[in-house]
Structure 1
């Protein structure tokens, strides 16, 4: 059994896990911080965009309300005068001047009409005599047939009495003194008014604004070619989704991708809803650019961090490997490859502690090559080194149990540490080692060198023995001395009572 650096854990071994953990923490921290910053920026940009859209809607709605209030007031007076018997009895040329308020100066104002129950024009603010046309098929006329119709805003239509100019009609029901349907009072607004109002806006790419009536019919949208906002708002209106101001995600994506979000604002006093569709792509264009830049920066930072920490980890790993190699070298005999005396002392202390803890026996064998000085003197130190290496290899190969530990103790001396081994077992193993060395042919190492022998001194510490490690080694050393002095090439075991060593068995005559 070899005993290398791995058997003695050095300080800082756990530091090897620190660089990967630091890398992981750095990656998570950078991603979390950047993600949090981007999320905050996203919310800020989106809030700014929705606030801007709401302010735009309020401004446009206020303009529309102001103009419609002027028209609505005039229409209310027209409806009241149209059913007044005293005004109806006036000649047509005088009746028109009384009915129509010349002070109406609303932007985009078209004409005001009084229509009889059959749909014929009775009075016309734009022509005297009134223009001839039947308007009974118009939605603004049909809607007032219901007693509770109230104020009605029509869908856009090409005007028959104004050369086909697109217009929107606002109508009120006329009721006589008996509560019967007496016709309709109508005021028209040119669609060009809404166009001029919307086209003055500066909208982001993908944004749309549209005005709808109560049933979700678009009156005018800008840009005129974008129908996504109108379609989405109409569907929401049909489901009652635009009954109150709010924000909804449109059901259809825009042409440029992304989602549309609808902000609505009701025109106060009129069945009209102003809707702005915000394109997430257009609104967050700057944020997407920041996202791309941040992603690139984060990626580069992560690569630098990972590279730096990986380099540190590899350097630390190489340092640990170098330390382990140096420790192995410091514990290994260069000639034999066996653990050296320092490693042997460490192992002996380790096994002694374990034997005391587990209450097991521990044996030690001191081994010395017989007449080694003669080999060196006759064949030279180079051959002597080869002999030591062969003996070491044979000892290690013979003592091959899992716990057996062979070490070069110094010069031509070796030590065998035999954990959980009593005197009989140690003697058996020592004898086997002695015979293996004795039976080797060393002619290949040096001509004329038939072989060498070894002497072995054994000492065993029993379970109830309180002697120290030094005492155990000293006993084995005295037993080795007795083996040498009594003829060599034999195994001698020390007595348990520390009396002079007794020879256990004389194997053969010395070489």
Structure 2
């Protein structure tokens, strides 16, 4: 191998390693989004658990039903106030106590969704990642009453989602989840043989730094390039790897072409006096040289002459054809793998622009859409309107009914906004807390007020109980504003106008739409 080939391989390896490091960071974000989905599922399940956990049979059936409806949950258990397991979705488990588990004590004390660290399950003796949430009980907690909903997460399924390809294929990526104390919690695909030494080297590499990449052998003994990143708040690290033979294919091609050219150059040194050998050697050498040069430059390889060649040149011709066919096959496989990675990145971008509780666009997505609408209005001299919606007396709602019911109320309001027959280019979003917004490009003040009144009327029709509200149900104050962008003004001028209109609606008694504009932002 020449010095240039060594340098080229080092540069190629570094580029692939940095890409795998970025893939590990993206996989960590996807893993954290999956955990957010787990928390939502736990909140929804806990709200009903006191109802279906009253009798042993109903308790088992309800826990099994909840586990079956969520692919990322392996088992669900209901725990009594004294810390003993009342039931699991796979049958009763009398006498098993979880009272000493820190995540159980924390969940009982705080009433929040608590994600534990990897532990050995007392139900199955498997290494699991537990999660727990207190079951709402306004009558007070008794030791013999259902107090806690716990779940064991299917880490193998979650790791499989971030692996990104099918096991067994040449370009298949693998993923390994490691705890900070060096325990391999989950991996995909599962190793088929004894891989203790490989696993030990991988764990040592992952724990050596918070972020990085390395060239290692995977559990099947293949040379792999592994990127890793840590989830610091959870005490876990995620490593993702790919077969280095597949991704370093261009370097292999260069080395093969170099070898062929070296052989051909030696053959061309044969004396021209060998006139009888010119036909048998010269033509094959020239044909292989042209094909090798085209391959090295990335151009389509010209077809080799048909018919049998002399002696070893026939073997070389067949080997060259197999090599070009293999290069083309690996190129297609790598392009397919890149398409899968692009799809995963698009999913991450979508998750980053969605509010995790309501499913509406979040503040970041709303700001981007507002800026785009503002620029269009500036070019075309058309108005841009905004509604800011604030639920009335929502703090009293949370104080009276609890935050779980508050979250349920916010999700109902979000569903109402999704169901509104808005135009395709309008956008409903949750800005934060109980505040929502609707972006209405190409709308004036009367049009924005009309949409606001439709939303207010639809909220009345829902009749969401709110005993702390003057009308006895949930209402909203809505501020509307519309401007034609002009000159150096920025979108925040429109938001400030809508905020002022919202405060005017509240000052006038709430449950109404107030407008500011038709204005020109100069």
Taking structure 2 as the reference length, the TM-score comes to 0.40
TM-score by length of 1: 0.41
Higher RCO, Cα 8 Å, sep 6+: 1
